[in-house]
Amino acid sequence: MDATVIAVNHALGAIAVELENKTCVVLETSSQFFLDIGDTVTADWQSEDTILVKNVNKDSEFDAHVQKTTETRGDAISSISII
């Protein structure tokens, strides 16, 4: 399922994305990643293990871990500053 990047914290390796169904997911990664707000990414968002996130806009990929699933954009965005 595709998602849109809504927030990025490169210093903490944290990313917030909004899925097509408007659910938001907070990711954490120690991998190097290249994302901008608005990029489209795809992954198996239901996995409880490490997931492979593919950046459709930049044709790149990285491993990440799902930290949190939330219903609101505000909660997801605020979460990436405190991981």
Structure tokens at 11: 């210093």
Residues of the chain with pLDDT below 50 are none
Structure tokens at 78: 């605020």
Query: Can you give 39-75 as a three-state secondary structure string?
Result: CEEECCCCCCCEEEEEECCCCEEEEEEEEEEECCHHH
pTM of the predicted protein model: 0.91
Going from N- to C-terminal start, the domains of the chain cover: 2-79
SS3 label, residue 5? strand
pLDDT of residue 83: 53
